Amino acid sequence: DTAVSQTPKYLVTQMGNDKSIKCEQNLGHDTMYWYKQDSKKFLKIMFSYNNKELIINETVPNRFSPKSPDKAHLNLHINSLELGDSAVYFCASSQGQYGTGELFFGEGSRLTVL
């Protein structure tokens, strides 16, 4: 039983297209995150939701729009894809929004923009 699952695992698309990545966690956590890992393996937080409320919104282009329909799901929609959006996007979850720092990560969704 996968604790944090993301779909799709691989996504290849053309510049200008719109795409979505979905994430679900079955750990009963109330906080979920999107992280971006670039080609140099550098990880940066993008968004975080706690009980469907947006609590972290880093300086991410507004082409990226997260949505959390319930506390077990967090989706990421990207409009007008650009070459620089190519990366691995990781979903993560934690119990509580305050800094114990133990996050549970999904396996990642590798996005390639051509």
Partner 1 sequence: AQSVTQLGSHVSVSEGALVLLRCNYSSSVPPYLFWYVQYPNQGLQLLLKYTTGATLVKGINGFEAEFKKSETSFHLTKPSAHMSDAAEYFCAVTPLFSGGYNKLIFGAGTRLAVHP
Distances (CA, A) of 99 to 37, 38, 110: 21, 24, 28
Contact between 30 and partner 1 by CB under 8 A: the answer reads no
CB of 16 to partner 1, least distance (A): 28
Member of 43, 61, 63, 79 binding partner 1 (CB under 8 A): 43
Most distant pair of Cα atoms in the chain: their distance: 39
Member of 45, 52, 72, 112 binding partner 1 (CB under 8 A): 45
Site string for partner 1, 80-99 (x = CB under 8 A): ----------x-x-x-xxxx
Question: Phi, psi (5° rounding) for residue 103?
Answer: -105, 145
For residue 6, what is the DSSP state?
E
Nearer to partner 1, 14 or 94 (CB): 94
Contact between 31 and partner 1 by CB under 8 A: the answer reads yes
Query: For the residues of 22-61, what is the DSSP string, one character each?
Result: EEEE-S--SEEEEEEE-TT--EEEEEEEETTEEEEE-S--
Nearer to partner 1, 13 or 97 (CB): 97
Q: Residues in the site for partner 1, rule: CB under 8 A?
A: 4, 31, 33, 40-45, 48, 55-56, 90, 92, 94, 96-108
